[in-house]
Amino acid sequence: MDCGYSVKILLERRKVVVIGDGTAVDREIARLLVAGARVTWVSPRHSETWRDETAVTHIEAEPHIGCLEGASLILLCTDQAPLRTRVVQWGELLAIPVALAEPIAQVSQKTVTHGIGSVALVGAGPGDPNLLTLKAKDLLQQAEVVLFDQLISPDLLAMVPDSAAWIHVGKTRGKARMQQEAICELLVDLAKRGKRVVRLKGGDPMMFGRAAEEIGALRVAGIPFEVVPGVTAALGCAAQAGICLTDRRHAHGVQFISATRADQNAPPPWRGLLRPNQTLVVYMGLWRLEALCRDLMMEGAPPTLAVALICQGTSPHARVIRADLSTLPEAAGNAVSPALLIIGEVARDPAVNATKAPRPGRNRRFAALAAASAAMLPVGAG
């Protein structure tokens, strides 16, 4: 029976058993980790989310009373009434308190009742830890909790004080460890608990980094936040390859585009993007490199258009592959991610440039092709 009391339990180094697979489960596990608990998560669903987290043990099975041995707290993350009833009975039998997790999207609606923390969305740069800004370094050194993405250099995490908690919320082998809504809720929740939170993102947080969703959640909840820019992959990779994205002899401008869109089925609008004397930088394009080059050529880009593919830019393993649109898929061979494409005359191999300057007709021909494909556009598109 709920008698209305709230009880505070210190969870540091205590075993907490999380039962179920409700929407809030990842948020709750992350919160328990921040509190220093050892988490045993019992749910038959296979999940990679906490695979590398040593403080989390996932028992992929239906919950049974044996899982509760030695627990200081049981946390119910399920809306299945019969399972809840059974677990509450086990808790009573073993004298272990049982708490019920709130489903997702309720926590952020709550009013703030106590000292409030803050969130900094911080850009980690593209790989080389020396590209971190001084401001980002300061914030990392003062952080109480760091939520970080995939591809963050361990050297940056080493700046975080020992007393701080860090939680990996990024992707592993393309699979999200934690859903975006859960990350937003966790940021809000931690700040409401008075924590100084750093949300560390690769490159620049505002560039293809889902910062908008997180800022939106923080705004709605009234949490103070700041954004600290980082060196985005385009700039890090261009520097690595010695490519001037706006070399005035070849490009009047540069466009940044993601090959992966919120709607996975919709291809990027290449036709509208192709312009003569423009550099195109494509993020997240490696997984569909062949289709991407083919689509560009079908939309009027010349097969000889220069392309540079930069893999693991700014890291000690960086690799720059130069080719043209028609030869890149083969030249890319076993290129590894993260990788970025720079498309346009600026990407031409300088050795080739020196010996064989682009023929004068090239840009005119590209302009004609772009104009022709623009003419084929349906009304209102482009």
Ligand X SMILES: C[S@@+](CC[C@H](N)C(=O)[O-])C[C@H]1O[C@@H](n2cnc3c(N)ncnc32)[C@H](O)[C@@H]1O
Q: Say whether 281 sits in a helix, a strand or coil.
A: strand
Helical axes 180-192 vs 211-221, angle rounded to 10°:
40
Among 49, 232, 279, 373, binds ligand X (CB under 6 A): 232
Told to check if 129 binds ligand X by CB under 6 A, we report no
Minimum CB distance to ligand X smaller for 78 or for 232: 232
Closest CA to 293 of 276, 272, 270: 270
Marked catalytic residue, from 171, 247, 295, 349:
171
Among 25, 68, 104, 207, binds ligand X (CB under 6 A): 207
- Is 20 a residue that touches ligand X (CB under 6 A)? no
Q: Among positive and negative, which fits the CA dihedral 167, 169, 174, 176?
A: positive
Out of 11, 165, 215, 233, point to the residue binding ligand X (CB under 6 A): 233
Q: Which of 25, 37, 156, 310 contacts ligand X by CB under 6 A? A: 310
Should residue 203 be labelled a site residue for ligand X when binding is judged by CB under 6 A?
yes
Told to check if 313 binds ligand X by CB under 6 A, we report yes
Taking CB under 6 A as the rule, does residue 153 contact ligand X?
Answer: no
Q: Check if 247 is active-site.
A: no
* 149 catalytic residue (yes or no): yes
268 belongs to the binding site for ligand X (CB under 6 A): no
The HSE-up count of residue 321 (CA atoms within 13 Å, CB side) is 22
Question: Which tokens in the block code for residue 132?
Answer: 């971190």
Q: Which stretch binds ligand X (CB under 6 A): 214-222, 230-238, 360-368, 369-377?
A: 230-238
Please work out, in degrees rounded to the nearest 5, the angle formed at the alpha carbon of residue 137 by the alpha carbons of 133 and 138: 120
Annotated catalytic residue, options 26, 149, 189, 204: 149
End-to-end CA, the chain: 62
189 Cβ partners below 8 Å, 6+ apart? Answer: 27, 31, 107, 108
Query: Which of 20, 127, 268, 276 is in the footprint of ligand X by CB under 6 A?
Result: 127
Q: Residue 70, Cβ neighbours under 10 Å: how many?
A: 12
Q: Which residues are catalytic?
A: 149, 171
Residues that bind ligand X in the complex, under the rule CB under 6 A: 126-127, 201-204, 207-209, 232-233, 237, 283-284, 310, 312-314, 337-340
